[in-house]
């Protein structure tokens, strides 16, 4: 059986048995066993359920890291094909099964042919979806136990023709942060608003004023960002002015400086509105993902490898940034590297959106992804 056909079998097996973040026990064991079959040194339990495979060839001290994510989502799959998820409420709806299979296929090819001089680290990461897996592997010594000159990752993207690659230098994906604002007032009877303080009025003013952070505090050219209020809750009822309002939401930005301005700006807006109304507040801001920032040189290496595999006409090296987020961003804060996206297809052939119950990874791009990884390694660690 060819590696391409084997990769399809691996991918469909993984799709049938999805596991949530930090619970990828069977997936990790499957990956580790395959790597050992290929003759690759294996380290299990990195950052919980993470796996690192190490392949050395020649005498060079040069090194490269390749990362794939393994976790699934809490989504009930609606597909009816033979390899659909066998687990209730769990599904590979983001294509991590495909990412894992592509990197395993590349590991197999590289171990067989060994057309490079240096060290390749195959990094299989848990819990990307919640943004804890990369940080856990880093905390467990991913970059202190092992030296990597650069690190690369790849993700599929529906809506782009199958096998077409897109990336860009600098910020390719946004940071993601959530916020919670709790406004405490006295409330009271709806017929007697003058006898208390009304948190709904204050909350409404906060919601409106939050949009001025993007429109008036951030550069329209260099600091693109989004602030979205996604929920507004009170403890009132039809004839009762509530004593508490809770506002929650989500923010996206492309630079660390914009992220800082948003975090500080939200509290400034809330504090000002609450002070003018004479009410109290609590504010919590949580950053789940940093912006994914590709380094210039490594992005060019990634583009060059992709062009060799699919042709110059099928590679976009300066795409528009995406407002979705990725926890590979934390690894790029430690080591220079590049995150690239490969088209999963359009329409019925791979075009179903990520995180959708009808999504499926397009097996036609497994070979493309495998050859991209192999080409990148052989170019960066050329003999």
Alpha carbons 64 and 44: distance in angstroms, whole number = 19
**Residue 129 assigned to a binding site:** yes
CB atoms within 10 A of CB 231: 10
Give the pLDDT score at 346. Answer: 97
Give the pLDDT score at 322. Answer: 97
- The answer to whether residues 373 and 99 touch, using CB atoms and an 8 Å cutoff, is no
Dump pLDDT digits (tens) for 348-383.
Answer: 899 999 999 999 999 999 999 999 999 999 999 999
The percent of residues in the chain predicted with pLDDT above 70, rounded, is 100
> What is the fold of 175-289?
Alpha-Beta Plaits (3.30.70)
Residue 1 — pLDDT band, cuts 50, 70, 90? confident
pTM (predicted TM-score): 0.95
**Residue 24 assigned to a binding site:** no
Residue 188 — pLDDT band, cuts 50, 70, 90? very high
> What is the fold of 3-172+292-380?
Aminopeptidase (3.40.630)
**Residue 155 assigned to a binding site:** yes
Query: What is the bridge-based pairing of β-strands 188-189 and 165-166?
Result: unpaired
Q: With left for phi above 0 and alpha for psi between -120 and 50, is residue 159 left, alpha or beta?
A: left
Does residue 92 register a pLDDT over 90? yes
**Residue 94 assigned to a binding site:** yes
DSSP 213: I
Tell me the sheet residues that pair with 234: 245
Stretch 155-166: mean pLDDT: 98
Q: Where are the beta strands (DSSP E) in the chain?
A: 41-46, 50-57, 63-69, 118-125, 151-158, 165-166, 170-173, 175-184, 188-189, 225-234, 240-241, 244-253, 280-289, 292-294, 315-316, 337-345
Dump pLDDT digits (tens) for 291-347.
Answer: 999 999 999 999 999 999 999 999 999 999 999 999 999 999 999 999 999 999 999
Residue 237 — pLDDT band, cuts 50, 70, 90? very high
Stretch 46-69: mean pLDDT: 98
Which residues have a catalytic role annotated? 71, 128
Largest CA distance in the chain: 82
Tell me the sheet residues that pair with 177: 251, 287
- Residue ranges of the domains in the chain? 3-172+292-380, 175-289
DSSP 299: H
When the pLDDT of each residue in the chain is averaged and rounded to a whole number, the result is 97
């Amino acid at each position: 059986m060819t590696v391409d056909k084997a990769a399809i079998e691996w991918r469909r097996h993984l799709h049938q048995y999805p596991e949530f973040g930090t619970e990828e026990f069977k997936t990790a064991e499957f990956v580790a066993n395959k790597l050992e079959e290929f003759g690759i040194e294996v380290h299990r339990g990195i950052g919980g359920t993470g796996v690192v495979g190490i392949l050395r060839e020649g005498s060079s001290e040069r090194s490269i890291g390749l990362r794939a994510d393994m976790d699934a989502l809490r989504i009930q799959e609606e597909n009816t094909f033979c390899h659909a998820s066998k687990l209730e409420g769990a599904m590979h709806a983001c294509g991590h099964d495909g990412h894992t299979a592509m990197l395993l296929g590349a590991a197999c090819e590289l171990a067989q042919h060994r057309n490079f001089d240096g060290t390749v680290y195959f990094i299989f990461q848990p819990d990307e979806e919640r943004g804890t897996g990369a940080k856990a592997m880093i905390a467990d010594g991913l970059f202190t136990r092992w030296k990597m000159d650069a690190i690369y990752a790849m993700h599929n993207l529906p809506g782009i023709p199958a096998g077409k690659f897109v990336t860009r230098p600098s910020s390719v994906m946004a940071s993601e942060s959530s916020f919670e604002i709790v406004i405490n007032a006295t409330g009271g009877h709806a017929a007697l608003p003058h006898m208390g303080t009304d948190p709904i009025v204050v909350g409404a003013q906060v919601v409106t004023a939050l949009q001025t952070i993007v429109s008036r505090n951030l550069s329209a050219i260099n600091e693109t960002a989004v602030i979205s209020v996604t929920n507004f809750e009170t403890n009132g009822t039809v004839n009762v002015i509530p004593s508490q309002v809770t506002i929650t939401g989500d923010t996206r930005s492309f630079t660390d400086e914009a992220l800082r301005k948003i975090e500080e700006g939200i509290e400034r807006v809330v504090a000002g509105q609450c002070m003018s109304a004479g009410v109290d507040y609590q504010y919590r801001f949580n950053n789940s993902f940093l912006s994914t920032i590709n380094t210039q040189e490594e992005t060019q290496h990634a583009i060059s490898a992709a062009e060799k595999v699919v042709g110059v006409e099928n590679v976009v090296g300066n795409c528009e940034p995406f407002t979705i987020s990725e926890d590979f961003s934390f690894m790029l804060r430690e080591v220079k590297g590049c995150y690239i996206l490969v088209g999963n297809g359009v329409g019925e052939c791979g075009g179903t959106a990520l995180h959708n119950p009808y999504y499926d990874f397009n097996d036609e791009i497994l070979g493309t992804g495998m050859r991209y990884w192999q080409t990148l390694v052989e170019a960066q660690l050329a003999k």
